[in-house]
Amino acid sequence: MNRFKSIKKLLHFVYPDTYEEFDFQRVRNEYWADVHNIKADFEQKLIENGIDFAEIPKHITCERLIKWRLSNAFKRHGDSPFQLMEALYPGRFKAEQFRKVLQRYWNDK
């Protein structure tokens, strides 16, 4: 085990493609650096909760992202649901569609 530094790395080595990142209590920080990982997890949560793509601004809040264990991804995008959605789906939504907008958003308009 010394070679692998963690049980998770050992399991991934011994049983490749058997475990998903979320099968473990914690995920690597580098996992959240890849937008494709965030998008795959986010879309899975949408399906599990029966939320249509068009309803994202109405349903996606800070609290929901944290509940869905996406807080690290959320933090990487300025603690803003809109900025996270903009990273995942560029140009698909407008900030004013979300329940809360960025500070000083209306000053820039």
CA 28 to chain centre: 13
Distance CA 59, CA 46 (A): 10
Q: Is the pLDDT of residue 25 over 80?
A: no
Q: What is the pLDDT of residue 26?
A: 72
For residue range 57-81, list pLDDT tens digits in order: 999 999 999 999 888 888 888 888 9
- Cβ 4 vs Cβ 13: under 8 Å: yes
Tokens of 33: 């650096």
Q: Residue 61: how many CA atoms within 13 Å on its side-chain side? A: 7
